[in-house]
Amino acid sequence: MPTTDATLALGIIGAGIMGERLLGAIHGAPDAPVRVAAIWDPAPEALARIGAAFPAVPRVADAAAVVAAGACVYVASPPASHLGHARAALAAGRSVFCEKPLAIDLTEARAFVAEAGSAGAVNFPFASSPGVATLERWIGAGVVGTPRRLAIAVEFARWPRPWQADAARWLDARAEGGFTREVVSHFLFLARRLLGPLSGIRGRVDLPEAGRSERAIAVTLTAGAVPVTLTGRVGGTEADDHNTWTLEGDAGAVRLRDWAIAERRAPDGRFAPEPDAIPNARLRPITLRRQLAGVVRMARGEPHALATFAEALDVQEAVETILAL
């Protein structure tokens, strides 16, 4: 499968919410830079749902058929299976676009990144987010000045979130799940990319129920030279998913709210959104289409802004350090 065609042949392993969202982004744009060559999931009901929503997408018998059909393979299966599928794709000469984390075992993840080099990327959508681009523009224009502190806060009415109920078995298990891996990792990626390497992690994790994932975290760390406070909790809010990433400096403050809304602090101390900001439900397909453009560049060996395997490993190292506190 050449990667120089006008459209990139993309194979998808995993027909859950992430695979379905990517399909929606592809089929929602008449000029999509990729075509879906094949999709597979071990659950017949998941494939049936995809067939009903996207009848033109080829559904195949196994992961090997996906690898054979695509020039690039999107691995959107549960985390424990990521490395097996990614390694099979790379061994066949395909590029890989993988959901995070790379693996559930850090030793395996380190070995994979050492082997894989630059033949793939990881789906941290903040790499292509218009909201993040606005923050970067403001920071570059001096709105923040010299960064002094970063605060990351996430809250959930329940975990997993309602739209993840079908994946609750692994999303609420200690080995693969929890909001720190699933959500906080995105905001740590953003801190690392904009401010520098993550280090000095200290704090506590609340794991009150045997076998289930964390219910609260309270952590401090540094991103580059900037002190970071990180808090997260399940319960105590009515919002399914509320989050803020707030960077303060000696000249002002900016934040990203609820995944999408770029805001800057006004002289009265209140945060005001960027005039063109739109909520995440409307922004998500735009960001995913920008991610897909990056996937095409990555597959062709061209410069791209996607999260590299090495960046994703650094984030995973930080996440697992937090969960081991």
Instruction: Please report the pLDDT score of residue 31 as a whole number.
Output: 83
> What contacts 117, CB < 8 A, 6 or more positions away?
309
Do 109 and 184 fall into the same domain?
Answer: no
CA distance 185 to 201: 14
Both 154 and 116 in one domain: the answer is no
Helix (H, G, I), strand (E, B) or coil at 269: coil
- 269 shares a domain with 299: no
Q: How many domains does the chain have?
A: 2
In this prediction, residue 5 carries a pLDDT of 54
155 and 293 fall within a common domain: no
Q: State the pLDDT at residue 250.
A: 97
Query: b or e along 296-324 (b: 16 or more beta carbons within 10 Å of the residue's beta carbon)?
Result: bbbbbeeebbbbbbebbbbbbbbbbbbbe
Q: Do 201 and 246 belong to one domain?
A: yes
Which regions in the chain score pLDDT beneath 50? Answer: 1-4
Structure-derived torsion over alpha carbons of residues 290, 296, 300, 305, reported in degrees to the nearest 10: 20
Q: Tell me which residue range forms the domain holding 149.
A: 127-278+314-323
Task: Check residue 1 and give its pLDDT.
Answer: 40
Please check whether residues 318 and 170 belong to one and the same domain. yes
- Same domain? For 45 and 139 the reply is no
In a domain, 188, yes or no: yes
Whether 144 and 118 share a structural domain: no
Please check whether residue 30 lies inside any domain of the structure.
yes
- pTM attached to this predicted model: 0.95
Task: Output the pLDDT for position 2.
Answer: 40
Domain co-membership, 231 together with 295: no
CATH at 31: 3.40.50.720
User: How far, in Å, CA of 119 to CA of 91, rounded?
Assistant: 11
SS3 call for 22: helix
Segment 266-321, tens digit of pLDDT: 999 999 999 999 999 999 999 999 999 999 999 999 999 999 999 999 999 999 99
What per-residue confidence (pLDDT) applies to 288? Answer: 94
CATH number at residue 235: 3.30.360.10
- What are the residues whose beta carbons fall under 8 Å from the beta carbon of 130, sequence distance 6 or more? 283, 286, 287, 290
- Domain contains 3: no
